Amino acid sequence: MSSPLLRTSRSLCSSCLRWRHHRLYVSHAALATSTFPKSSLQQTDTLSPSHAPEKAKSQKGFRAPSETKADQCTSLQSRNPLEPTRVDLYLASIHAAGLEPTLDDIERCRPNRHSSPESSKYAEEYNNLLDTLCRSFSKDQLRKFTELYQLDPIWTRSSRRKVEYAESIIEKQWNWPSLKELERRKRDRTEVVVKTFSVNPSQLFLILGKDGADLLQLSMQYNVHISLASNPLALRVEGLRGAMKQLTEHLSDMKKGIIDEIVELPSKQPIRQDLVQRISRLAGAYVENLGHKGKIRICAKDPEKMDIAKRLATRASTESQGSSSPLLCYLPTKPKLDHSVPPSFVPHTYSIYPFFSPRPLPWTTIKGGSFRVRRVADWLGAAATEDISKTGGLAGGQGKVVTKSEEPKDLEALLQSAPKTSGSDRLVTASFGHMVLASPSLTGHAMLNPPLKGNWILSKILKWLYTSNTPLMFVPSLPPTLLDTPPSNQKVLHRVLYRTLAESQSEKSLQQQLIKLELEFSMSDVASSRAGELEHSDSDRELAGDSVDIDYDTSSPLESLHDSTTFEQPSSNAKQTIPEVSVNVSEPTCLEGVESTLDVMMPDRPMDIQFAILDYTDLCAGAQPPVLVEYAKELRQFLTSQNGEAIQPQPPATFNFHGRTYFLQTSLSVRQAIEATQLPMGACEDLEQSVYARVITESLLDLESNQKSTSCQVMLDDKVGGQAWTQFLASCDHVTTVSFPAQNIKPDLSAS
């Protein structure tokens, strides 16, 4: 006799199923989890007349409850686990009868509402609903529901599990928040993890940014703690799991976006290591030497920084291989001693003093100490500065000019007797500044200890300079006599200067081929009249030599032009009206020539002089280099355009012209002022016999390195006649000494 458990597995006839299909289908969820009592089985059997014989047989074989329980345990222990359960058989019978569930059936399981996803009840409600769907429907039925709901094919593919189909219906169709996503977000908000990111030197440099500013920004943006591990090189990051994922994506995208390029320098020589670091800081790109044949590797975040690094590297390479100017030293004549000065203090002694410039030194300067040779002041009366009223100065012709080997030279003969190129004009200028001795530092820090300690006679110092080959550099600056002088006839220029490079070390010459392009900017009458109110204060402050950091960042490359268009802020009661400024750009002037320079060290004066002789030829529009013509055209369009998103063009880094290769040396924004200063003739102090000399002062902004500087020049004017040379040297005496303050200023109307 079969047990009661086996009786429930017999098949029902089709007529009974059709008559009771709705009630049986609705109750199948309860049948899946409950056992069938004997009374229920007997009641079910009475509903079907066709099963009467089997019912009688079952009643005939009825046993005691204890025996039935024992038979059930024996049946459960002996049942094959691979055989289908009663629920499976029941659902299979429904399927055999052609009774498939519809969307209305599964929608009956959908709750009307759910708790807040942030509450603890939501997880319980979600799991209960998921359990109900999995127990009520088979895998194929749930998959069929996803297709009927027209979910994305990614959620209806046949390879998914049953619970995944149920989750897709709950989340994608019924729009319940994903429980897994909520748990993940909770872990991201609360769980702290530590992760290490491996980096190479170039990646680390670009991640750090200037002085670590970019790394600090990352730490603040993602609220993580970042430290550096040196061996191996890596970033150790500690923070919340969610922030760590975002930071990982950011670093991965940044590494993929780094561009890498190998550049061959024109000098075929590696760049100094201190210059490599400065170029990297100025350009915001990682630069390193590759070998000793003038190849460098540049890594940058974007093409703009890559281009800046290339230009700075080329400029540093050409300047280091450029021609060096010969050095002369001016020795003034010994003045007649007063009776109060003992003769034991003669001759004068000199020493190498630390040099501190009001402006940053050029970025190509050797990193270390900067020094200048100065005369030591005597205790009993003799000052440390030459008195040109007693010595006569350069214009008096009583002193002498010697080389480092103490060979006397005639300054006028050196400047006037230089061979002149046929068909060209000659321009002789004197620039004022300081001859600086650059002493490299082993530690890379600035130092105050001079390379030659103690007080020495000048011949001893000249001999040391001759034998030690200490590098000297002329640094232009504004003389103290013009600091309080209001500028006049000010104009704004854009100047681009190109020079050639000797093909070999043996071919270096004192002369260099150059091409100079200049464009002058002017404003409309409305803007210029308004800006004229601030011209004196702005220009005076600009030319006064206020200290500016070498990494000065400007809002616009042509900052000088924008400075001259600054307007006063109106009062709070007045209506603020800013006039429109229209910029007029002149036709470019271009000249080609040969330049030679001569440095004159003056340890008895506050400043030194650099003389320059330029034999040049003006190039008309049709004879100018085509690349410069195109650059001037694009720059004019940029300055006159009203489009605020226009990109400023960059001058070409190199080009060929007339069989020569020219390299960009400087790209400057210039504010130029021409001063007419009253100067005495030679050693004469009578102002009635004095003349007016033209002094050109310039405030310069290097558009490549964003470094500011000032310069002061005096030009030799051949129109004066025979007194031109004397007046030229007298102007040099006046500017390089502090004995004579600047006299009354007379505007130079002819230069406007």
Question: Looking at the structure, do residues 307 and 412 belong to the same domain, yes or no?
Answer: no
Are 239 and 364 in a shared domain? no
Tell me if 237 is assigned to some domain: yes
Residue 115: count of CB within 10 angstroms of its CB: 13
Q: Is the pLDDT of residue 172 over 80?
A: yes
Answer whether residue 138 shows pLDDT above 50: yes
| Lowest-pLDDT range of 101-105, 546-550, 587-591 | 546-550
pLDDT at position 386, please?
81
Percentage of the chain lying above the pLDDT 70 cut: 71
Whole-number Å distance between alpha carbons of 93 and 98? 9
Among 87-91, 147-151, 270-274, 666-670, name the one with the lowest average pLDDT. Answer: 87-91
For residue 60, being part of any structural domain is answered with no
Write down the pLDDT at residue 379: 60
Confidence of residue 15 (pLDDT cuts 50, 70, 90): very low
- If asked whether residues 213 and 315 sit together in one domain, one would say no
pLDDT of residue 461: 92
The yes-or-no verdict on residue 296 having pLDDT over 60 is yes
Distance CA 150, CA 134 (A): 20
Residue 619: predicted pLDDT: 92
Least confident window among 57-61, 524-528, 633-637: 57-61
Last residue of a domain, one of 208, 229, 257: 257
Give Cα 267 distance to the centre of its chain: 27
- 217 in a structural domain: yes
Domain end among 300, 320, 340: 320
* pLDDT level of residue 24 (50, 70, 90 thresholds): very low
Residue 509, pLDDT score: 56
Specify which of 6-10, 66-70, 245-249, 520-524 reaches the highest per-range mean pLDDT.
Answer: 245-249
What is the percent of the chain with per-residue pLDDT over 90, rounded to a whole number?
A: 26
Between 23-37, 264-278, 512-526, the lowest mean confidence (pLDDT) is in: 23-37
| Chosen domain end from 414, 441, 474 | 474
| Lowest pLDDT segment from 16-20, 110-114, 273-277, 303-307 | 16-20
The answer to the question of residue 689 being in a domain is no
- Identify the domain containing residue 315 by its residue range: 259-320
Question: Given the DSSP bridges, would you call strands 259-264 and 286-290 parallel, antiparallel or unpaired?
Answer: unpaired
Look at residue 279 and tell me if it is in a domain: yes
For residues 576-602, give the mean pLDDT: 81
Exposure of 478 in the CB half-sphere (CA atoms within 13 A): 28
pLDDT (tens digit per residue) in 90-133: 777 777 777 778 888 888 889 888 888 888 888 888 999 999 89
In this structure, is residue 630 part of a structural domain?
A: no
Indicate the pLDDT class of residue 600, thresholds 50, 70 and 90.
very high
Confirm whether 585 is domain-assigned.
no
- pTM of the predicted model as reported, rounded to 2 decimal places: 0.68
**Count of Cβ atoms closer than 10 Å to residue 494 Cβ:** 24
The confidence score (pLDDT) of residue 31 equals 40
Model pLDDT, residue 462:
92
C-alpha closest to that of 314 among 282, 286, 365, 279: 279
For tokens 């009475």, name the residue: 46
What mean pLDDT is predicted for residues 387-413? 86
pLDDT of residue 51: 42
Q: Which of 642, 740, 632, 646 is nearest to 693 (CA)?
A: 740
Q: Is 50 exceeded by the pLDDT of residue 261?
A: yes
What is the average pLDDT value for the chain, to the nearest integer? 76
Check whether the bond before 343 is cis (ω within 30° of 0): no
Residues 337 and 458 in one domain: yes
Domain count, the chain: 3
370 with 464, same domain? yes
Regarding whether 351 and 301 lie in a shared domain, the answer is no
DSSP codes of every residue in 165-189 = HHHHIIIIIS-PPPHHHHHHHHHHH
pLDDT at 57 over 60: no
Say whether both 366 and 392 belong to one domain.
yes
> Which has the minimum average pLDDT: 124-138, 181-195, 446-460?
181-195
* Least confident among 329-338, 397-406, 531-540: 531-540
pLDDT for 747 equals 43
Confidence (pLDDT) at 574: 41
Sign, CA torsion 251/254/255/256: positive
Which whole number is the average pLDDT over 358-385?
77
Rank 361-370, 403-412, 538-547, 557-566 by mean pLDDT and report only the highest.
403-412
Q: Looking at the structure, do residues 253 and 229 belong to the same domain, yes or no? A: yes
Query: Residue 311: which CATH number?
Result: 3.30.1370.10
Highest mean pLDDT among 180-194, 263-277, 473-487: 263-277
Residues 440 and 349 in one domain: yes
- The stretch 350-364 carries a mean pLDDT of 85
Please give the full DSSP string across 340-357, using - where no structure is assigned.
TS-GGG-S--EEEEE---
- 3-state SS string over 599-655? EEECCCCCCEEEEEEEEEEEECHHHCCHHHHHHHHHHHHHHHCCCCCCCCCCCCCEE
Q: Residues 340, 447: one domain?
A: yes
Residue from 728, 14, 203 nearest 431 by CA: 728
At residue 88, the pLDDT reads 75
C-alpha 518/C-alpha 537 separation (Å) is 26
| pLDDT for res 567 | 32
Residues 338, 435 share a domain: yes
Give yes or no for residue 161 having a pLDDT over 60: yes
What is the average per-residue pLDDT within 422-441? 87
Q: Quick check: is 514 in a domain?
A: no
Burial (CB < 10 A; 0-12, 13-18, 19+), residue 626, is: exposed
Q: Are residues 406 and 455 in the same domain?
A: yes
pLDDT tens readout for residues 633-677: 999 888 888 777 788 899 999 999 989 999 999 999 999 988 776
